[in-house]
Amino acid sequence: MLNKIKGNDNSRYLSAVWVIFLCTALFLLLREHFAHYQWALLYLLAINFIARDHGVKPAILASVVAFLVWNYFFIPPHYTFSIADPKDWMALAVFLIAGILVGQQTGKMKERELELLKKQQETASLSRLSGKLVSLTSTNLMAQSVLNEVVNISAAGTVVLFIPDMRAKLIVFQSSSKNMDIDHSDIKPLAQWCFENNKGLGLPPVTVQSRDYAVDWPLSARLEEVKGLIKKDKRKDLFIPFQTETRVEGVLYAGEKENGKTYSYEEIMLIVSVANLVGAFLERNRLQKDMNKANALAEADRIKSALVVSLINKIKEPLEGINFMLSGYLSSHQEGKPETMKVLNDINQDIKELNNNIGSLFTFSREKGEKWKDPREWHNISEVLGSVLLKMAPRQRTRIKLSPPEKELPKVFVDYFQISRAVELLIEHSLINSAEGSTIEVRVINQPEEIHLRIENGGYNLSSDQDSILLASTSVQFNISSEIVRFHEGRIWMEQGDPMGATFVLSLPKKIVLYDKIYNA
């Protein structure tokens, strides 16, 4: 029934005229048995049925045609439009007015009934789709359901689901089209623009989002914004972004309708509702994957840390035993050969250093096994350096030259305790591997996007033959510091000194991203 009222205009009008002609042919067979006034009632009944099946306008046309044929075939004199009795003029006028009113009232009532039925069906479709999306976990199955629903509720000739890849470039995830030769290159640039600007195309104009005016409705792009991307002068398709509270998850494209008409406001509302459901589904899946990945990584870290702690305990015990035995031997053989005593002292010192490094690694692994929380806050890097220097022995502190920055430094977002440990390990490394009495220079440099902490050591040369031994002996300290700095989204690297030595550079960002929001120092 709805297809009849909303169908092709020409077919509806022709059908209305044919109904009147068929009724007239039937009435002519019985013309001699009834008064000519009685046929008006039968014509009104036919007009009522026409309005019910074909709408208001065909019913009005049927009223005019019935007015003419009643006059021509049934009001004396027959087969002419002239009227013998003046009273028949009144009857014809009343009949025409009554026919138009009957057609209007009946047609509007039927259209309202069909509109309510259509809204009920659309609501049921959205409810059915919403239920499917809640239970589904597969993005492929979700896409199939969405494409089918959009085609059913809008009669779109083409529906395409765009989802971004790892580089935030849209790809055609799934599409449904009766035209198998659809050119995605025509619509993909527009879809990418909508994705990057979080705006829709082809929607009723909404340029400012407000609570009262547009709730859950995408902002609409003006034509001049995408003028360089539009190849057609007039478009009847829709581009709707999958909006969530934090980001855009993709774009839904609904091509021109099969009948060539533009989308009604009600149809656009339904498609926007579908797009919002898809956005919620994609966000839920993304967050679920992130949570599963985080849980898996945390469990892997816990197991790895437990294994490392177990291994360290097995290594640490024999080292402590060797250190104890060697210290006892040295204390009881003070008068041995100088060369032998020097070698033994060097070995003892190396064992102590290795033991300390293993102890640091043990503490670090145990903390990671207990799952780091995020206690980061905004701190000044000068405060971190001050706390590190205060914990050092006075003899070591005198070897450190702290160069003040040229201007006030911005704060960095760090875990105060952990970043202090990273700086302390790097400074200790430089003190151990430099000549006794040499100076370690510590400088803080304010870069455009980062804060650089430079620890310059002139005690050794990275290009020397002992590089591999040196780096191997300090790999534990360096790796622990690197892990801490990586947690803070920073970097650590080493640079060649001029002409000797090397420099550790610890870099921390001044801008961070938390929960998809950017914070600056």
Question: Nearest CA to 381 among 487, 477, 454?
Answer: 454
Q: Where are the beta strands (DSSP E) in 404-439?
A: 412-414
In the listed set 242, 265, 288, which residue is the last one of a domain according to the structure? Answer: 288
Average of pLDDT values for 330-348?
Answer: 64
pLDDT bin (cut points 50, 70, 90) of residue 179 is low
Tell me: do 149 and 107 sit in the same domain. no
Position 518 scores a pLDDT of 46
CB 129 within 8 A of CB 277: yes
User: How confident is the model over 400-451, as pLDDT tens digits?
Assistant: 888 877 677 788 888 888 888 888 888 887 887 777 778 888 888 888 888 8
Residue 96 included in any domain: yes
Q: Is the dihedral of CA 440, 442, 447, 451 positive or negative?
A: positive
pLDDT bin (cut points 50, 70, 90) of residue 465 is very low
Q: What is the largest CA-CA distance in the chain?
A: 154
Tell me: do 387 and 515 sit in the same domain. yes
Residue 354 included in any domain: no
Residue 309 included in any domain: no
- How distant, in Å, are the alpha carbons of 290, 293, 374 from that of 297? 10, 6, 16
Residue 230 has pLDDT above 80, yes or no: no
In the listed set 119, 153, 186, which residue is the last one of a domain according to the structure? Answer: 119
Average pLDDT value over all residues in the chain: 77
Per-state percent for the chain, helix, strand, coil, to nearest 5:
55, 15, 25
Residue 153 has pLDDT above 90, yes or no: no
Residue 437 included in any domain: yes
Average of pLDDT values for 111-131?
Answer: 75
Q: Which domain holds residue 189?
A: 145-288
Position 21 scores a pLDDT of 92
Position 483 scores a pLDDT of 79
Q: Copy the structure tokens of residue 40.
A: 């008006």
Position 311 scores a pLDDT of 61
Q: Is the peptide bond before 76 cis (omega within 30 degrees of 0)?
A: no
Of 115-119, 165-169, 224-228, 468-472, highest mean pLDDT: 165-169
In the listed set 288, 316, 333, which residue is the last one of a domain according to the structure? Answer: 288
CB 159 within 8 A of CB 253: yes
Position 64 scores a pLDDT of 92
Residue 203 has pLDDT above 70, yes or no: yes
Tell me: do 93 and 176 sit in the same domain. no
Tell me: do 260 and 402 sit in the same domain. no
Tell me: do 222 and 115 sit in the same domain. no
Tell me: do 75 and 163 sit in the same domain. no
For the chain, how many structural domains are there in total?
3
Would you put residue 118 in left (φ > 0), alpha (ψ -120 to 50) or beta? Answer: alpha
User: How confident is the model over 136-145, as pLDDT tens digits?
Assistant: 778 888 888 8
Q: Is the peptide bond before 499 cis (omega within 30 degrees of 0)?
A: yes
Tell me: do 94 and 152 sit in the same domain. no
Residue 38 has pLDDT above 90, yes or no: no
Using CA atoms, how far apart are residues 444 and 386, in angstroms rounded to an integer?
13
Q: What percent of the chain has pLDDT over 70?
A: 72
Using CA atoms, how far apart are residues 171 and 251, in angstroms rounded to an integer?
10
**CATH number for position 172:** 3.30.450.40
Q: At what angle do helices 56-73 and 38-54 cross, to 10 degrees?
A: 160
DSSP, residue by residue, 361-373: HHHHHHHHHT---
> What does R_g of the chain's alpha carbons equal in angstroms?
42
Position 325 scores a pLDDT of 62
Average of pLDDT values for 162-172?
Answer: 88
User: How confident is the model over 441-456, as pLDDT tens digits?
Assistant: 888 888 888 888 888 8
Residue 315 included in any domain: no
Does residue 122 or residue 420 have the better pLDDT?
Answer: 420
Tell me: do 160 and 71 sit in the same domain. no
Residue 517 has pLDDT above 50, yes or no: no
Residues 6+ apart with CB under 8 A from 204: 220, 265, 268
Using CA atoms, how far apart are residues 78 and 80, in angstroms rounded to an integer?
6
pLDDT bin (cut points 50, 70, 90) of residue 174 is confident
**CATH number for position 519:** 3.30.565.10
Tell me: do 172 and 108 sit in the same domain. no
Residue 313 included in any domain: no
Tell me: do 433 and 510 sit in the same domain. yes
Average of pLDDT values for 165-188?
Answer: 79
Position 162 scores a pLDDT of 92
Residue 387 has pLDDT above 80, yes or no: yes
pLDDT bin (cut points 50, 70, 90) of residue 367 is low
pLDDT bin (cut points 50, 70, 90) of residue 516 is very low
Q: Where are the beta strands (DSSP E) in 438-490?
A: 440-446, 450-457
